[in-house]
Structure 1
Amino acid sequence: MFDKLMQVQQQAEEIKKRLDSITVKGEAEGGKISVSSTGNKNITSIQIDDEFFKSADKEELEELLAVAVNKALVQAENVHQTEMQALSSNMLGGLGNLFNG
């Protein structure tokens, strides 16, 4: 049983590494603000179109930046959940074999 638990822990580490390598984006104002995140929900970049930045007021910019960040985090959460569901499925399948075998 200890071997199975170690295997699950190793799979979890592999998933974490994979999630770090996945990039998702959230955009606002037709892509004039773009936020990138890893699958582990770490914001990696924020890009704001130069022309939009010059013409936007502070409040508008803050609101749209929050929209783009939240969209990126929702995408990251979706990817994260998919990976964790796969791990859970593998884990339950492996533990089921412990009790059947």
Structure 2
Amino acid sequence: MSELLERTMRDDRLVRDAARAVVDADIAHLRADLASRSIPTRIKDRISEGAADVLDEAVAVAEDNKGVIATLVGAIVLWFARHPLLDLVSNNESAAERPNAGDR
């Protein structure tokens, strides 16, 4: 029984030592990575990667919904042109209401 216990303890120590070596290597890698890039650089990289992902998704959605995009652009153009269009319509209505010079 004692031999079995010693063998189990030795195997457990080997596994523990191997796990510790992996953790130490991960920590060394993390420290090297942190030392190579500053925090503002990391933030900038993360934001630019996120923006690129959002742009790719927007392009994919736009390609799938061209009619909706065209309708939306048309609605935006009409919204920004609403005042000149309303002035044009109101000028035409007021001209139609005025009596003609030949009718007097």
Larger Rg: 2
Bigger relative contact order, structure 1 or 2, given CA contacts below 8 A and separation 6+? 1
More helix by share: 2
**Is TM-score (shorter-chain normalized) higher than 0.5?**
no
When normalised by structure 1's length, the TM-score is 0.34
More strand by share: 1
When normalised by structure 2's length, the TM-score is 0.33
